[in-house]
């Protein structure tokens, strides 16, 4: 019992305590996959699982050689939009594969375990070091229940989970580790079957969240997700994992031709989101926004299902599901929602088709998946069908008490290098997120109710606005005037200049470190040493990266080597991490 309580407390610290139907629905419940940053969704969502093709295999092209360009673009874009990032750590590079000629769906050898755990450890360490504080969620593998995605054993996967957990959390203690995400692989092999093997091999000890994919093995029927979730929860209970959140990290209707009309697609999506929350799944990532043939929500124009995604998000975020979704004998499903000040709502649909329904007297209107609002007639009789509608009472959602406070930067302050922004928002409603604007341009977004980050705003005087919004639509902000001085490089040959943070600065983790060199020769490499331990290396003449650091005072050294016989030179600072 004591161990269980301590674990739940740890989940609360990470913001991962399992959600219940009685919990206000957070904006992060709505997750999304997309394939191109230029197709960024027009509907609100706060969680993204990478689906761009960036993977261990595509990034780590040979031992200790990494191409971060694609992932950098995705992470930077997501961060600017206030969307958190999940990265699936799958697809073994062929050069590192224990079976490099194995026929795998993603490429030869990519579904086999690595031939040496050293290769896995090196990649995980490089990944966590580069994206500490920017990628929060790490999923251990994609769909391992399909042998063409994973051809290894449960014990091998557990070993990889153990190593990843240890490495990532030593670098970024706030990171969250998800289990591999099994899916249906044949009607008799639901995701719970594979998860049973992983947990029985001890995998639960190394993950914070249990993940699965909620695809239907037959024709897509939204209500089938209830059986899938029950199977997952049964396995979790068997191995003492019920205190952990359960996330569906990929699902949809599959191929677009699996559902015959835009109405059936919109209906499926809405019912899936309602039923996921009702059954205890606290995140659900739709697949996919801009895939042209699979779960398509946008294909040059938003689809009916894409519009439905945005409408259901409005229905649910900030509301509490006071009664779980349940079905009557005539195939009518209802889910009861509430907000403050007496607001009541009822999501309702009928899986068999059109049917008359008499709404209770407290409901005066209903909302449709197309965004319309319709008055309920005086006799209360309306028509329901396969597409959910949201019956609403006359009581409106409560007003907001939203406020924003910022401890850094102070007004009319002058800084050298990056600007440290520390702020938080409070509200009687659910906070949708916070943004930072510099001179009327968005420079930072987060789905959280607090900000602790360093921003490079460029030299000069800037008007910095820190803003928050909540589920009622309220917006609050504070403004600061900040003057930034530039990074003045030394004119002395073979010199490292640490531009940011300043010596003696107080900062928050992860710490953005910017350093440049002055040298008449070509620089062969640069390293960062944290308290005399190497934590970062780059083949370049300058550094601009983020390093996770524990609270306290640290000694930071940046050292460079040039090609004039391997000569080195360095510079050091002392900083305090809050």
CATH number at residue 415: 2.60.40.10
**463/503 same-domain check:** no
**148/200 same-domain check:** yes
| Domain's final residue, options 317, 350, 384 | 317
- Residue 15 placed within a domain: no
- Residue 104 placed within a domain: yes
Residue 9: the pLDDT is 45
**521/477 same-domain check:** no
Residue 510: the pLDDT is 80
Distance CA 407, CA 462 (A): 17
Helix runs in 349-424, H state only: none
Among 223, 154, 227, CA closest to 184: 227
- Residue 4 placed within a domain: no
Give me the CATH number covering residue 280. Answer: 3.20.20.80
- Residue 40 placed within a domain: yes
**353/300 same-domain check:** no
Q: Dihedral (C-alpha) 48, 52, 53, 56: value to the nearest 10 degrees?
A: -50
Residue 8: the pLDDT is 46
| Domain's final residue, options 393, 413, 435 | 393
CA distances from 524 to 199, 494, 556, 567, 568 (A): 46, 13, 20, 10, 10
**532/426 same-domain check:** no
The total of structural domains in the chain comes to 4
Residue 400: the pLDDT is 58
**201/340 same-domain check:** no
| Domain's final residue, options 456, 485, 514 | 485
**265/414 same-domain check:** no
Q: What is the DSSP string of 274-303?
A: HHHHHHT--EEEES-SS-SSBS-SBSSSB-
**339/382 same-domain check:** yes
State which residues form the domain around 387. Answer: 324-393
- Residue 127 placed within a domain: yes
Sign of CA dihedral 506, 507, 509, 510: negative
Among 466, 467, 49, 531, CA closest to 295: 49
DSSP SS3 for 55: coil
Here the tokens at position 569 are 């030179």
**501/480 same-domain check:** no
- Residue 279 placed within a domain: yes
Residue 512: the pLDDT is 78
Q: Which residues pair with 431 in a beta bridge?
A: 470
Among 285, 300, 287, 294, CA closest to 249: 285
Residue 160: the pLDDT is 98
**135/236 same-domain check:** yes
Task: Give the distance, in angstroms, between the CA of residue 578 and the centroid of all CA atoms in the same chain.
Answer: 25
Q: What is the pLDDT along the chain (578 residues), one digit of tens a residue?
A: 344 444 444 554 455 656 555 689 999 999 999 999 999 999 999 999 998 889 999 999 999 999 999 999 999 999 888 899 999 999 999 999 999 999 999 999 999 999 999 999 999 999 999 999 899 999 999 999 999 999 999 999 999 999 999 999 999 999 999 999 999 987 788 999 999 999 999 999 999 999 999 998 677 999 999 999 999 999 999 999 999 999 999 999 999 999 989 999 999 999 999 999 999 999 999 999 999 999 999 999 999 999 999 999 999 999 999 999 999 999 999 999 999 888 999 999 999 999 999 999 999 999 999 999 999 999 999 999 999 999 999 654 445 578 899 988 888 888 876 788 889 998 877 888 888 888 877 778 788 888 988 787 777 888 898 988 887 667 788 889 898 877 778 888 889 999 888 788 777 778 878 889 988 888 989 999 999 999 999 888 889 888 888 888 999 999 999 988 778 999 999 998 87
Q: Compute the C-alpha angle 332/336/341, nearest 5°.
A: 150
- Residue 563 placed within a domain: yes
**506/361 same-domain check:** no
Q: CB neighbours of 76 closer than 8 A, spacing ≥ 6?
A: none
pTM for this entry: 0.73
Q: 366 near 382, Cβ under 8 Å?
A: yes
**478/508 same-domain check:** no
- Residue 360 placed within a domain: yes
């Amino acid at each position: 019992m004591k161990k269980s309580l301590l674990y739940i407390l740890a989940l609360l610290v990470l913001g991962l305590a399992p959600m219940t139907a009685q919990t206000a629905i957070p904006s992060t419940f709505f997750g999304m996959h997309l394939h191109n940053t230029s197709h960024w969704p027009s509907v609100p969502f706060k969680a993204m699982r990478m689906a761009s093709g960036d993977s261990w295999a595509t990034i780590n092209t040979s031992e200790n050689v990494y191409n971060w360009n694609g992932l950098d673009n995705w992470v930077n874009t997501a961060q600017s939009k206030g969307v958190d990032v999940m990265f699936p750590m799958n697809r073994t590079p062929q050069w590192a594969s224990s079976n490099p000629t194995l026929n795998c769906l993603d490429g030869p050898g990519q579904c086999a375990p690595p031939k040496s755990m050293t290769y896995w450890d090196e990649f995980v360490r490089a990944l966590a070091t580069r994206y500490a504080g920017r990628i929060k969620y790490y999923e251990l593998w994609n769909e391992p229940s399909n042998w063409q995605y994973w051809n290894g054993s449960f014990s091998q996967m557990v070993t990889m989970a153990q190593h990843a957990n240890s490495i990532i959390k030593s670098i970024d203690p706030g990171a969250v580790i998800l289990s591999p995400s099994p899916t249906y692989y044949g009607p008799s092999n639901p995701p719970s079957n594979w998860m049973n093997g992983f947990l029985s091999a001890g995998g639960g000890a190394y993950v914070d969240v249990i993940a699965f994919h909620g695809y239907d093995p037959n024709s897509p029927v939204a209500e089938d997700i209830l059986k899938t979730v029950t199977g997952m929860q049964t396995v979790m209970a068997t191995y003492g994992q019920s205190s952990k959140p359960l996330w569906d990290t990929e699902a949809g209707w599959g191929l677009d031709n699996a559902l015959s009309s835009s109405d059936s697609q919109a209906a499926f999506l809405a019912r899936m989101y309602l039923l996921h929350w009702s059954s205890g799944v606290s995140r659900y990532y739709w697949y996919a926004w801009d895939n042209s043939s699979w779960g398509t929500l946008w294909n040059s124009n938003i689809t009916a299902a894409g519009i439905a995604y945005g409408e259901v998000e409005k229905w649910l975020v900030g509301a509490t599901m006071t009664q779980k979704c349940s079905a009557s004998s005539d195939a009518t499903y209802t889910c009861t929602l509430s907000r403050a000040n007496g607001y009541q709502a009822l999501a309702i649909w009928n899986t068999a088709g059109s049917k008359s329904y008499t709404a209770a007297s407290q409901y005066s209107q209903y909302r449709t998946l197309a965004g319309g609002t319709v008055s309920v007639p005086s006799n209360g009789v309306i028509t329901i069908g396969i597409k959910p509608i949201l019956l609403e009472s006359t009581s409106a959602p409560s007003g907001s008490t939203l406020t924003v406070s910022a401890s850094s930067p102070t007004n009319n302050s002058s800084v050298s290098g990056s600007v440290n922004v520390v702020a938080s928002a409070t509200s009687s409603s659910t906070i949708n997120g916070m943004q930072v604007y510099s001179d009327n341009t968005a420079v930072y977004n987060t789905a959280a109710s607090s900000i602790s980050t360093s921003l490079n705003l460029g030299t000069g005087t800037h008007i910095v606005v820190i803003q928050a919004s909540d589920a009622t639509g309220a917006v609050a902000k504070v403004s600061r005037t900040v003057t930034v001085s530039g990074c003045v490089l030394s004119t002395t040959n073979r010199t490292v200049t640490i531009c940011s943070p300043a010596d003696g600065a107080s900062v928050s983790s992860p710490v953005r470190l910017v350093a440049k060199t002055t040298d008449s020769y070509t620089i062969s490499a640069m390293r960062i040493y944290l308290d005399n331990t190497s934590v970062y290396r780059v083949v370049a003449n300058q550094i601009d990266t983020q390093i996770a650091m524990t609270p306290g005072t640290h000694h930071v050294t940046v050292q460079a080597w040039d090609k004039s016989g391997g000569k080195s030179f360095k510079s050091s600072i002392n900083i305090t991490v809050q």
